[in-house]
Amino acid sequence: MSTSERLIESTRALLWERGYVGTSPKAILERAGAGQGSMYHHFKGKPDLALAAIRRTAEEMRATAAGVLDGPGTPYERIEAYLLRERDVLRGCPVGRLTMDPDVIADDALRAPVDETLDWLRARLAGIVEEGREQGEFAPGLDSEEIAAAVVATVQGGYVLARASGSPAAFDAGVRGLLALLAPQDRQPRTRP
């Protein structure tokens, strides 16, 4: 792996574990096994390197979500598959957790990939809810954008509950609760693998 790659991958790991505020340039260099000079050769500084790292994490999250949401099944089944897909629940969401980072939120450039990714996810889910309404799987009175926001919020908030309690059970409970409310009549939600 090139030095530039090692710097980006180390930054991604540290941002996920410790957030932006908690990640020092020194910690990145140590993890990457790189010197200060090489960081400034490839990047303008911590914000620039963090932006590259956040963009890559955001792209990965989008690809993973798209893989499930564009998969087979009815609209309900695709939303179910998205909510139940395997996750490293106790680590939290590498994109969503950045919203609790004051220096990310204060910097429009760093916030942009976070906002765009969650926005994309909501829009994609809203389209699926819309399909489900048209096919009669969901009630016609539901607002697809509101349901989509509730789905994304349940996942993001599920991480909060799981990390607070030190167990994925709380995440699973929230997701199952939402699925039970969303499920077409006479349908039992499945369980996360």
151 interacts with a copy of itself by CB under 8 A: yes
Nearest 5 degrees, angle CA 55-CA 61-CA 65?
145
CB of 144 to a copy of itself, least distance (A): 9
132 interacts with a copy of itself by CB under 8 A: no
Looking at residue 125, its amino acid is L
13 interacts with a copy of itself by CB under 8 A: no
Instruction: Report the length, in residues, of the chain.
Output: 193
- 100: which residues sit within 8 A by CB, 6+ positions away? 19
| Cα 13 to the center of its chain, rounded Å | 14
| Cα 115 to the center of its chain, rounded Å | 11
CB of 180 to a copy of itself, least distance (A): 6
Q: What is the rounded CA–CA span in Å between residue 156 and residue 18?
A: 17
111 interacts with a copy of itself by CB under 8 A: yes
Which member of 40, 165, 184, 190 binds a copy of itself (CB under 8 A)? 165
Which member of 97, 132, 137, 168 binds a copy of itself (CB under 8 A)? 97
Residues within window 55-94 making contact with a copy of itself, judged by CB under 8 A:
92-93
C-alpha dist (Å) from residue 4 to 9, 44, 109? 9, 12, 20
- Binding positions for a copy of itself, rule: CB under 8 A: 17-19, 21-22, 92-93, 96-97, 99-103, 105, 111, 114-115, 118-119, 122, 141-143, 145-161, 163-166, 170-171, 173-178, 180-182
